[in-house]
Amino acid sequence: MILYIKPVASLLFAGLLIASPTKQSTPESPVGINLKLITDELSHPTVFAVEPGGKSQRIFICEQEGRIRIIDNGKLRPEPFLDISREVVKNSGYDERGLLGLAFHPDFAINGKFYVYCSAPVPRTEGVNNQQQIREYTVSKNTGQVDPATMRIVLKVDDPDPSHNGGDLKFGPDGYLYIPIGDGGGQHDLHGQIGNGQDLSSLMGKILRIDVNQQPYGIPKDNPFAGKKTADGRPAMPEIFAYGFRNPWRISFDRKTGQLFAGEVGQDKFEEINLIKKGANYGWRIREGMHIHNATDPAPGNLVDPISEYSHSEGLSVTGGYVYRGKAIPGLVGKYIFADWTGPVWQLTNSGEKTWNRKKLPISREVGYWHVYSFGEDQHGELYMLTVHLESGKGAVYKIVP
């Protein structure tokens, strides 16, 4: 994805959501919202996460430089929950790498385990810029603090470029960990003969699904490519759940239906929102949105259309969000809320028969919230928005309220 701290030239490879690829009906008027400032004392906030179970009211925020901060009862604690800033790629600005994902184990209250997605430096190696790592840590039952000695690397992927890292982490209703990974960076996915996104022997340009309750991890029995081969006879990677992505930026599960949504940052022309299905091919690098991108690539007949797309004449880079299931704003219930990096916030409504309508959400009070980097969902289904000031890196968390 395109990060908030990328230079303007790089932003030409991202996008904004405004059009639906399916037939439009006449939707209801969107509900107006407000943004309530929770804190503006963060640096490059990338991730919002909460503990499972609904009892704790703590909010955990990842800072790209490598720190996890806690907001407790509306107050930002001065000391970090975890600080791995010395273990991630040094970020001097205009960079997509860093601490990019956080998810708590469904049994966190019992086992104290949580997982992070980070970009780790590697020795100078041809063809490798950094290493994307999924790490497990454990909180001590005695102290309530993270024990750094418990760190284990669950999964690692050598990344040839500093861009298109993906980086979210989410546990699904099935208890498995879902991991979106970008295509390896650079323009047009020029990796190998067909690009990483279409190459089932590569983990890049995919959404993965693994079982973290095994060592180092297990493969769910119904993963679609377990035991399969690619078209040219190579073993397919069994971790793959879905493929054909450039840079899947922010995934989320609808807490009511279990549906998996993903924002997908485009190349030069289109951004998209996808409804993720097991084993599905979402088209990159053959297509960007619903449009042919590389005419020399053979187009299989199984490509899945996005549920919404928009052109780069209307924005820069999609920020995937959540289906609203809170109680504070009844008019938003069941609608997928997302944004563009440049600021607009949108709702996407399923009108039936695969028709999704998109409308801009009016923000009742201008707050000057900078660039939208991520969304979060708390224990009660209420939504939050993480923003960053491009030049300073100063970050804020806002709660979406009536």
The pair of structure tokens assigned to 172 is 């699904």
State the pLDDT at residue 270.
93
State the pLDDT at residue 92.
66
pLDDT in tens, the chain (402 residues): 444 333 333 332 333 333 334 444 445 677 889 999 999 999 999 999 999 987 889 999 999 999 999 999 999 999 999 999 999 998 766 789 999 999 999 999 999 999 999 999 998 888 899 999 999 999 999 999 999 999 999 999 999 888 899 989 999 999 999 999 999 988 888 898 899 999 999 999 999 999 999 999 999 999 999 999 999 999 999 999 999 999 999 999 999 999 999 999 999 899 999 999 999 999 999 998 988 888 787 777 889 999 999 988 878 899 999 999 999 999 999 999 999 998 889 999 998 777 899 999 998 766 666 899 999 999 999 999 999 987 788 999 999 999
d(CA 313, CA 310): 8
Q: Which residues contact 190 (CB under 8 A, 6 or more apart)?
A: none
The domain spans of the chain are: 8-401
164 has catalytic annotation: yes
State the pLDDT at residue 93.
66
Positive or negative torsion for Cα 156, 231, 274, 311 = positive
Instruction: Look up residue 110 and give its amino acid.
Output: I
State the pLDDT at residue 17.
31
The pair of structure tokens assigned to 381 is 């289904």
**Burial class (CB within 10 angstroms; exposed 0-12, middle 13-18, buried 19+) of 12:** middle
Q: Homologous superfamily of 8-401 in CATH?
A: TolB, C-terminal domain (2.120.10.30)
d(CA 366, CA 368): 6
Q: How far is CA 382 from CA 73, 214, 293, in A?
A: 15, 33, 37
State the pLDDT at residue 9.
31
Report which of 312, 305, 309 is spatially closest to residue 281, judged by C-alpha positions.
305
* Residue recorded with tokens 């020029």: 190
Instruction: Look up residue 165 and give its amino acid.
Output: N
Report which of 194, 134, 122, 208 is spatially closest to residue 161, judged by C-alpha positions.
122
State the pLDDT at residue 118.
97
Q: Per the residue annotation, which of 44, 105, 164, 312 is the catalytic one?
A: 164
State the pLDDT at residue 188.
87
